[in-house]
Amino acid sequence: MRRTTGSPVRRGLLPLLVLATLAGATVPAPAQGQAAAHGKTIVLPGATSAEGIAAGRGSTFYAGDYFGGDIYRGDIEAGTAARFIDAPRGRHALGMKAHPRHDLLFVGGGRTGRAYVYDTGTGRTVASYRFGPAGTTFVNDVVLTRYGAWFTDSSRPRLYFVPVDRRGRLGHHTALRVSGPAAVLAGRFNLNGIQATPDGRTLIVAHSSKGALFTVDPASGRSTAVSGVSVPGVDGIVLHGRTVWAVQGFLGQVRRVTLNGPLNSGKAKKTIRSGLFRTPSTAARFGSTLALVNAKLHTGIPPTAKQYEVITADG
């Protein structure tokens, strides 16, 4: 497996001293409004790093080797996983989403400035998109709507769109400039996790440096803050109905938030903690179960842990 050295920290969210303190701290016992998540560990055998996860058909999941670019396929119920795609050298694998109807997997390529689309039946590369220059473009996370895939850029106030037609054919990508409060570059990593309403008319994005959630109009790029929600160091997010699960990796927790009807305000309802969490990065939902990737970025960039895994927890 390959390991890229000298890559920027995806989650440069807090001063290094604070991160070191968080990494070495003992996770406190759940207080009122918190829940200890008792889950299981699914090892990604041979992985040298980890970051993204996507739900496939049934209990199938896909997870990525962040710096190696490889894709793993596993089963949440069986508790197993194996390397599925041996990616070409130089690729990264961050946020990802599966399109089971068309057997496609969309993967953000991080600092490569690219995104990749794989065939989940054969493992072959269907498409590779360059959204911007490597190093100055950080393609982080992705969400699927009925019209195509939206990717976030953590380095610039941009969203990238790849159209997918009813037959699963991919089109040329376009870039959308984000305006308003979500466009503020408050730190090294900004726009990160992304979700969409079922009709695709509203996007919800997580802003890591601001520790906040925003809605974005996919037609105009205008953003609006989701008031009442504080999620410091937020990474990936999951949306179901009006519930958002926000992964806060360096805090070792997931904050569950309930949004109002217009999606312009929210209230934290629960904080999920687990002794199995090791700077989790992203999550996927399987019914009432969350599956999270332990990125272990507290060990360094690239991480130096000997093992990487997917952790399940009650949502």
pTM: 0.89
> Residue ranges of the domains in the chain?
16-314
Residue-level pLDDT at 34 = 53
Task: Provide mean pLDDT across the span 270-283.
Answer: 97
* Separation of alpha carbons 57 and 60, rounded Å: 5
**Model confidence over 87-101: pLDDT tens digits?**
999 999 999 999 999
DSSP classification of residue 229: -
For residue 240, what are the contacts with CB-CB under 8 A and spacing of at least 6?
285
Q: Can you tell me the distance from the alpha carbon of 235 to that of 254, in angstroms, rounded to the nearest whole number?
A: 10
Smallest Cα–Cα separation from 60: which of 81, 39, 42, 38?
A: 81
CA-based Rg of the chain, rounded to a whole angstrom? 17
The predicted pLDDT at position 39 comes to: 87
Q: Is the Cβ–Cβ distance between 140 and 126 less than 8 Å?
A: no
What percent of the chain clears pLDDT 70, i.e. is strictly above it? 88
Spatial distance between the Cα atoms of 220 and 180, rounded to a whole number of angstroms: 11
98 contact partners, CB below 8 Å, separation of at least 6? 54, 55, 56, 62, 104, 105, 106, 120
Residue 69 has pLDDT above 60, yes or no: yes
Per-residue model confidence (pLDDT) at position 27: 36
Return the SS3 of 18: helix
**What does the pLDDT look like over 241-268, one tens digit per residue?**
999 999 999 999 999 999 999 999 999 9
Residue-wise pLDDT for 8-46, tens only, equals 333 333 333 233 333 333 333 344 355 545 589 999 999
CATH topology of domain 16-314: Methylamine Dehydrogenase; Chain H (2.130.10)
pLDDT in tens, 178-225: 999 999 999 999 999 999 999 999 999 999 999 999 999 999 999 999
Cβ neighbours of 269 (radius 10 Å): 11
Confidence of residue 174 (pLDDT cuts 50, 70, 90): very high
Distance CA 164, CA 154 (A): 23
Q: Show the tokens assigned to 230.
A: 């504080």
pLDDT at 12: 35
Q: Coil, strand or helix: which one is 133?
A: coil
Six token digits for residue 110: 């991080």
Residue type, 294: N
Kind and range of the H or E run holding 105: strand 104-108
Assess contact for 203 and 159: CB atoms under 8 A: yes
Q: In the prediction, which pLDDT does 13 show?
A: 34
Pick the closest to residue 175 from 193, 195, 155 (CA basis). Answer: 155
